[in-house]
Amino acid sequence: MLAELRVSNLALIDDLKLTLGAGLNVLSGETGAGKSIVIGAINLLLGDRAAVEQIREGEETALVEGIFNSGAALFPEVRALLEEAGIEAGEELIVAREVSRGGRSVGRVQGRAVPISFLKELGQLLVDLHGQHQHQSLLRTEYHLELLDSFGGEKTAACRRLVAGLFKRRQELRQELSALGQDSAARERRMDILAFQLKEIQAARLSAGEEEELLKQERILAHAEKLGLIVTRAYSEIYAGDESSAAAALVDRVNSSRGALVEAAQIDESLAHLVEMLENAAAQLEEVSLELRDYRSRIEFNPAELAATQERLNQIRTLKRKYGDTVEQVLAFADHAALELERLQNSEALAGQITQQIAVLEDQLNAASLELRGCREEAAAGLERLLEDSLHELALPNARIKIAFTARDAYTVKGMDQVEFLFSANPGETVKPLARIISGGEMSRVMLALKTILARQDRIPTLIFDEVDAGIGGATVQAVAEKLSLLAGHHQVICVTHSPQIAAMADRHFQLYKELAGERALTRAVQLEEKQRREELARMLDGASIDQVSLQHVDSLLDRARRFKQEAGT
């Protein structure tokens, strides 16, 4: 529910805070006190269009902030919307809207900037505002089906779940059939492409790691002459020596040094380990010279082998350009192509099987949708009766409600039905779509009747009624007050009213009034205590004059309200 509303620099409001609670919250005050500004502030939170003219004179920005308790954030629909946007609900859900004189409007949820469209989507899950002009969910015909199904209870819900399951399975099978390629010519073209690709890859006889070995071989073949010269020189220096300079081979010089150290070690035994090290060095030099000799005998510059290696590398690079960044990816592509080719080769038979399954599902879907239509028609008849009875109690004695059904062009997850509530307030008039109702008072009473009937099923936590009592009086207002009190047993209800009967039912009563600050008028709000509340109710009854008679009348209203709430258990 909406636990707190804060408004700054909006129209006549410089700084206002309302701490709201569960049950029925009533806002009253003289005409022009600022009740409509509060409703406008809530509309801004709900993603309504912002206007620069709403900003208080002399200020650059206006700010509205609503704090919703965690109960609202725990609704699955709200949680899913927040998670999709990467927003954590926490114990409180803080929604804000800032409007600047430059025309910029910023929405925030939990301090994070969000598009105004997101505010609107979130707002529709948190608040339903029923007033003279704006945010009336009853005008959205797609909402009518949800209202009817909600009234239909578990029987309708079970039928709807069955329809949804069949519809989803049919969609999955249609996707499978589409993936097979229903166009035989397209399927043949695809098979030709796959066969060519598979043949090209298989003909190359690729193996994992082959490219790396070929690159190594290419480097060696390309530098064979240079390698031969280097290896021959190293072999000569180590083992053969240099005849031109009469320089002895390195291995001979090491052996000579070892012989000298043998003689020295006979004198000083501490040199013995150096003799051993030179013996090992000589042995390793001989081993190196043998390997160099063998390597020199194997290496040769072979242009034909180099050309063949480079040709193979080019073939691999060509395949990589087409099918993958590595040889392993090319081989994986071939595996997938083989599987797809096999599937397409068998697709004609498989397509026939899937087509048969779809036909069976469509028969089942049609039967389930007809059953769902029957549940809805049964629920519609009961809802029409209850709505008309309720509207008669709300000073619409000639009101008629008709729930009209039309068939959709195609099945949906909700079945084949389109539903629209039709209404007529006067005798002799045909029922018309609710969207064409002119009177805001009629709209509010239709919604009040609906919300009272559907209170236990409706998941929107906060309901706001702006002057639901417009154009009615007497016993009708008392009936409206009682229905609002009943509704407040299942929802948080916020009601702007001029009616003392409705205000007497309040669990929290706020008075809005204007106060002069210098030469400017400011809107203020106060939550009324018992004495203040009696005086405000007396003002609502008799205008400016408050006397003992009006206060006795107030006490009578409050006593009647207490008795009603005790009997109703609200």
Say if 316 falls within a structural domain.
yes
Residues 208 and 119 in one domain: no
E strand map for 272-346: none
Residues 28 and 126 in one domain: yes
Say if 20 falls within a structural domain.
yes
> In the structure, what pLDDT confidence band is assigned to residue 247 with cuts at 50, 70 and 90?
low
Could you tell me the residue range of the domain that residue 306 belongs to?
Answer: 204-340
Other CB atoms closer than 10 Å to residue 246's CB: what's the count?
Answer: 7
Whether the CB-CB separation of 214 and 312 falls below 8 Å is answered with: yes
Q: Is the pLDDT of residue 74 over 70?
A: no
Tell me which of 12-26, 265-279, 442-456 is least confident. Answer: 442-456
Say if 454 falls within a structural domain.
no
Single residue among 340, 363, 391 that ends a domain in this structure: 340
The pLDDT value given to residue 429: 86
Q: Is the pLDDT of residue 566 over 50?
A: yes
> In the structure, what pLDDT confidence band is assigned to residue 441 with cuts at 50, 70 and 90?
low
CATH of the domain at 56: 3.40.50.300
Say if 185 falls within a structural domain.
no
The pLDDT value given to residue 471: 67
Say if 28 falls within a structural domain.
yes
Tell me which of 212-216, 272-276, 353-357, 564-568 is least confident. Answer: 212-216
Say if 416 falls within a structural domain.
no
Report the Cα 189 to chain-centroid distance in Å.
40
Residue 454's φ and ψ, nearest 5 degrees, are -100, 15
Q: Is the pLDDT of residue 459 over 80?
A: no
Residues 213 and 117 in one domain: no
Q: Please, what is the end-to-end C-alpha distance for the chain in angstroms?
A: 17
- Sequence-distant (6+) residues with CB within 8 A of 338 are 198
Single residue among 318, 340, 362 that ends a domain in this structure: 340
Residues 208 and 305 in one domain: yes
CA-CA distance, 207 to 197, in Å (whole number)?
17
Amino acid, res. 335: D
Single residue among 278, 305, 340 that ends a domain in this structure: 340
Say if 530 falls within a structural domain.
yes
If one counts the domains in the chain, the total is 2
Tokens of 14: 């410089």
Say if 546 falls within a structural domain.
yes
The pLDDT value given to residue 216: 82
